[in-house]
Amino acid sequence: MRLVMIGSGYVGLVSGACFADFGHEVVCVDKDAAKVAMLRAGRIPIYEPMLDQLVAHNVAAGRLSFTTDLAESVRAADVVFIGVGTPARRGDGHADLSYVHGAAREIARNLADFTVVVTKSTVPVGTGDEVERIIRETNPAADVVVASNPEFLREGAAIEDFKRPDRIVIGTEDARARAVLEEVYRPLFLNRSPILFTRRRTSELIKYAANAFLAMKITFINEIADLCEQVGADVQEVARGIGLDNRIGPKFLHAGPGYGGSCFPKDTLALMKTAQDHGAPLRLVEATVAVNDARKRAMARKVIHAADGDLRGKTVAVLGLTFKPNTDDIRDTPALPIVQALQDAGAEIRVYDPQGMEAAEPLLPDVTFARSAYDAAEGASALVIVTEWDAFRALDLARLRAVMVRAVLVDLRNIYQPDEVERAGFAYASVGRSAPHLAEPMLEAAE
């Protein structure tokens, strides 16, 4: 089928490349001429494992192309996906739908034969109704159906998530649109991926509800971690103990510095605002947002405490700037407020991240960007692990100790065992593990 993806950012580029790999003819449209030129030259503007190879393969096969010409692309399309950004709107936290509405107007002016227009961007309930209104107002003669098809891609694992999804959600009650989208996703029907057809508004809410629930799960285990530190328990064993209950499950129960990224912060905020506007406030989501915001600077206080309460004139090495590993995304990353709070406490900061330093450099003008973890640790009085990159999981502790002024390791992702670090001569602080480390519980043998 002939598919058009409006927007060549994270959602549009990954989705477009994967659809092309299914055998569809895909055109990714973007207003940014520099980005389109970069993609045509084989350079990928975002970091996502294996995406460069997937794009190159499908461009070479003639199934994937990039353009700034929306009009020509839409006229030839069977399906047009809207995959533009929906950032939090300044001032009130609602999702900024200006890009979605703008795309709808441009699409409407260029529709020819029957076309299914699909919102793949994360949008509040009722956005599909407004997109349909805009299209019909702009082009009353258009033969079009507007559907919803939210994405559920994890940065760092997006290609696997697209090709082997937990579920595909499609919001439409139109038989023609359903038949078209069944054909679009036919390869995943063959893989027996669960596909849920529902009403458009329900589909829109499913995405927000899923992200809010996962954000609450992260925030819950972070608060349990704080309690563990006060009562002498181990949050990792608590998480394991509750995660073995299949009603709860083990995922998103990893204590740390709080959630960040392109989805959870803006989506929880947008859902909270939507609920308030409709007179149905979501108190759990409101608490989740508040607790997560406060947690980031609380992690800086943990670092200050580990350094005997005084960082003035001292150097702190920070490992990890992205909100999670295997991405270059620093949007709402916990690392930025942590660095800023440490600077407020008088510390000099040296940072290293395998992928995130280019994006972070304009936002952190007063820090030193290092060439490696060991370079960052040079002359430091404390080393802080903020992002759990694989490159940080097996650091040479003896080498670190040799270049640091004081051997203090603050592990905000709990990727090291306390006894291992302490044997290497470090003072060690982690999250939710104030008690002496215990052996793994006997239940592990049952896995």
- pLDDT per position as a tens digit, 274-318: 999 999 999 999 999 999 999 999 999 999 999 999 999 999 999
The answer to whether residue 118 scores a pLDDT higher than 50 is: yes
Within 13 Å of residue 333, how many CA atoms lie on the same side as its CB?
A: 26
pLDDT of residue 93: 85
User: Same CATH fold, 210-429 and 2-198?
Assistant: yes
pLDDT of residue 337: 96
Greater pLDDT, 193 or 11: 11
pLDDT of residue 386: 98
Q: Which CATH class is domain 2-198?
A: alpha beta
256 close to 224: Cβ distance less than 8 angstroms: no
Average pLDDT over residues 223-241: 96
Indicate the domain borders of the chain: 2-198, 210-429
437 close to 417: Cβ distance less than 8 angstroms: yes
Of the candidates 18, 28, 228, 263, the residue annotated as catalytic is: 263
Residue 263 a catalytic site member: yes
The owner of tokens 């927000």 is 208
Q: What tokens appear for 197 in the block? A: 């057809």
pLDDT of residue 89: 87
The answer to whether residue 327 scores a pLDDT higher than 80 is: yes
CATH fold of 210-429 reads: Rossmann fold (3.40.50)
pLDDT of residue 189: 79
Average pLDDT, the chain: 94
